[in-house]
Copies of this chain bind each other. A is one copy, B any other.
Amino acid sequence: MSVAIENFVKAIYNNENQDITNTKPGNIASKLGISNAAATDMAKKLDAKGLLNYEKYKALRLTEDGEKMALNVIRKHRLWEAFLHKTFDMSLHEIHREAELLEHETSDFLAEKISEYLGNPKFDPHGDPIPNAKGEITTEDTSIPLSQAKENTEYVISRLMSTDKEFFEFCALNGIKYGNTLTVKKQFQSSKMTQIKIYTNTIVLNEDFTQIIYVNEIN
């Protein structure tokens, strides 16, 4: 299958997992940077291929085959990210950029090699789950955004939900990294800011950041 098709089913999959009613051609089009007309064309084509169900004016729904394809591409994307981060120490922004291309030119054979080399990781450096070779995600996500965390409680960082370069640069500079530990000190109700302590540093984050930094409470 072509790069265009793989990116298309991946965009639908990612969208369905957030907002199922809005998975319409126009929405996918704007995510992929193509015209609405192109997205409608593609939707019809993929319906004919059995990768999704297309009904005029309705939301797009991936078939089982379509979802399998999406998860296969996502697996390769996240394995590359994990690999490039670990082996070449590339930043959270760089790894995404490279993985977006490499994911389409990676055989299942090579994906397995990467996975084995890394010890079959279950999460990528953004905290996104890595599907297994069968296309299954076996982990469950219990994490909450930092904006909803309790005061005076210790958390481990579980996910950084962004693709923004500056955000990742901020994180890298301040030890905000998947797996690291932080303590929530105070939630400022009116200003919607969150004060955290990470290592010896105290940082006050605004809502833009506390809604994309996800954490798990340490028992």
Q: Hey, which bits of chain A sit against chain B, CB under 8 A? A: 84, 87-88, 90, 94, 97-98, 101-102, 104-107, 109-110, 113-114, 117
Complex: A94 Cα to B98 Cα, angstroms: 22
Instruction: Judge whether B107 and A105 touch: CB under 8 Å.
Output: no
21 contacts between A and B (CB under 8 A): A84-B110, A84-B113, A87-B87, A87-B117, A88-B110, A88-B113, A88-B114, A88-B117, A90-B113, A94-B109, A97-B107, A98-B106, A98-B107, A98-B110, A101-B105, A101-B106, A102-B102, A102-B105, A102-B106, A104-B105, A105-B105
| Residues on B with beta carbons closer than 8 Å to the beta carbon of A98 | 106-107, 110
Q: How far is the CB of A86 from chain B (nearest CB, A)?
A: 11
- The complex is assembled from copies of this chain, and their number is 2
CB closest chain-B residue, reference A95: B110
| Residues on B with beta carbons closer than 8 Å to the beta carbon of A109 | 94
Complex: A113 Cα to B117 Cα, angstroms: 18
Other CB < 8 Å A-B pairs besides A97-B107, A98-B107, A101-B106, 5 of them?
Answer: A84-B113, A87-B117, A88-B114, A90-B113, A98-B106
